[in-house]
Structure 1
């Protein structure tokens, strides 16, 4: 077994000639993101449906970023068609996103490191003390686990042979464009393919499939997201006031990220699915429990989780914990307006910007600039969700932050192949990988909407 921080950072040796004209004097946010997306796809292996050099849950975030980019394409004519619900627009960005969604849905399930383990039938009693060990459907130990290291950084441990490239590399642009005639492959999706026993992972994928729905308007993607949410919702209730959800099936940690993702997924579904009232109720139940849990500290930022006796554990205020809740509150306020939701989001966002930015206004996490393949994803999550907050509650603080970080990524954190690395302030830390690159792309995409 190996932790994700040791995943090889080999870059697939295909031509990046399309990027040779990318220069630091490009100021148009969309052009920057387009160059970066071209570079990102060097890591996408259409044969596995994932991005080489990074992990399972990271791939869900990358898909969400790709979907977000497709949605905010600044061509007014294309955006008008998108707003009218056109499922396929003749745009390179939208067509590429559509191919990625359809291909990942079909190819990625075998890469799930621990599929469908939420059910008791996939747990085997280890001893007479009712200790359970996780098994997959083949009743073989998977070796998949998530933990916090001595510095509070998330480390994901994968089975030894997880996601090793097999067969010939396939460029996603060579795949057929997904269209309604291929609907059967979406409708046949099995929710267990996207569950792995860690509820944050599950919900990252739910949000990724919501992003696919937002671009394609294919309701089968939305149905898959609903099924994932239902599986996680069935675990509701912790030792902390009998509310919230645990981090995983092991029920040994109540943390911020899993509960924020539960809020965000429920709120997103409330604005898209038929059972609006049900999802609004879940989102309100979560935010009420979360704000009472103590995870939001006196500074307005959010610590990693709770102690075993349900107090704030004062662990690191990671950027993604400050981000996911913003999108959740935005979507909940859209579904069921409340005068408290957007002010709470603004308080958290501004506290995070103040606490986690350097003197130049550049976002950093505690682990930087040498975060593993988990921590390297975090900053982009904040940028993506801050963009959502700015869309509904514009603020010059958000504009300055997004533009400052996007400009620094492009000018200081990019190599000659338009690969983006971990330290947004620069200099470029070699090598970049799909996690560092896609996270930095979230900042570039956010800048499209605030120019």
Structure 2
């Protein structure tokens, strides 16, 4: 009888395995197609993607790196983009840095000891700097090219000189405005934690910075009563109650996953789960598709990028600490994008629930590609 039960069980398990393999292969195929479409916007002269901005370019590059990490067929595109963007993109920097005199000295010292010039990637917005640091870390992860990691280190080195706000810690969003927002500080956390796990000789330094940022961030008013993260702080350092953007719920997840890897502490993943669950409750519709509140107005120019960033980091949390809720949200969003938010050119627009509508650009498309890549990573 026991033998018979095992014989019956084996085909069932095999069927489940084959079904999951088919879903994963389908997700990967869709991501490959979307990558090809994204590259229609890539400008080999500028090293960036036409129709979207400087910081969006960093996110386009990151999602390409994430796909290449899963799919060797994407490596040729990825390595070309990394190499070309490294050379070409600095000329398109809208506000070339470094942003402060302190950074001028710091970057001069950095440039003498490294082959890369991190100051070319500073643009007087500390959040933009963080996006590029994470993009170059992602490029390093799939190529192991030291220059990419050195570049990320240089950018982060510049960011540390901005530490200290009227709220007793953290960094402002740019050198000339004292506004303290969530995303800039989440990017600081995530960059420090990523570097801690990739630069053994300076692990202690980067881990200290990551812990310092998280301890300060968690003690501030960024996280609302329902567990979601608002946009930033008032001058009195209280939660400003501004929009619960999806990307603010996302970057922190990846940062906490990396920090937990660098310095294991069960509270880091507990905090990540708390934020992720609250975000899903707030941002997902009844079909499990993620939304931002601006979609009726097309979310231009910046928020077109936001949801993909959430998905990119949600899958990192799921891989580190699996949860069926996250799997459902990722699969539902990716499925809806492909079936309801795609035109005949395989372009992907801003409302993942559909229907597809213009305008569409490299930002909205690469954001949706993030969701497809997340589904392929499950």
What is the TM-score with the length of structure 2 in the denominator?
A: 0.89
Which of residues 176, 180, 199 is equivalent to 1:254?
Answer: 180
Corresponding residue number in structure 2 for 1:236: 163
Q: What per-residue deviation string (whole Å, max 9, x for no partner) do you get for residues 348-372 of structure 1?
A: 0010001011222211111114110
Which of residues 239, 252, 256 is equivalent to 1:312?
Answer: 239
Give RMSD over aligned pairs. Answer: 1.6
What is the TM-score with the length of structure 1 in the denominator?
A: 0.75
The unaligned stretches of length 5 or more in structure 1 are 1-24, 74-90, 124-186
Please state if 1:322 is matched with 2:249.
yes
Which of residues 87, 92, 108 is equivalent to 1:111?
Answer: 92
Corresponding residue number in structure 2 for 1:40: 38
- Mapping for residues 18-417 of structure 1, pairs under 5 Å: 28-73=26-71, 91-120=72-101, 188-241=115-168, 243-273=169-199, 274-369=201-296, 370-417=298-345
Distance in 2 between residues matched to 1:405 and 1:192, nearest whole Å: 37
Name the SS for the 1:294 alignment partner.
coil
Tell me how far 1:27 sits from its aligned partner.
7.3
Tell me how far 1:189 sits from its aligned partner.
2.8
CA contact (8 A) 1:200 1:257 kept: yes
The unaligned stretches of length 5 or more in structure 2 are 1-22, 105-113
Q: What per-residue deviation string (whole Å, max 9, x for no partner) do you get for residues 287-340 of structure 1?
A: 000000110011000000000111000000100000000000000000100010
Distance in 2 between residues matched to 1:36 and 1:391, nearest whole Å: 23
Distance in 1 between residues matched to 2:282 and 2:264, nearest whole Å: 29
Aligned length: 345
Tell me how far 1:122 sits from its aligned partner.
10
CA contact (8 A) 2:24 2:376 kept: no
Q: What per-residue deviation string (whole Å, max 9, x for no partner) do you get for residues 141-165 of structure 1?
A: xxxxxxxxxxxxxxxxxxxxxxxxx
Distance in 2 between residues matched to 1:122 and 1:61, nearest whole Å: 24
Alignment CA distance shift 1:93-1:206 (3 Å): same
Q: What per-residue deviation string (whole Å, max 9, x for no partner) do you get for residues 385-421 of structure 1?
A: 0010001101000000000000000000000111111
Distance in 2 between residues matched to 1:195 and 1:70, nearest whole Å: 26
Distance in 1 between residues matched to 2:77 and 2:234, nearest whole Å: 44
CA contact (8 A) 2:349 2:358 kept: yes
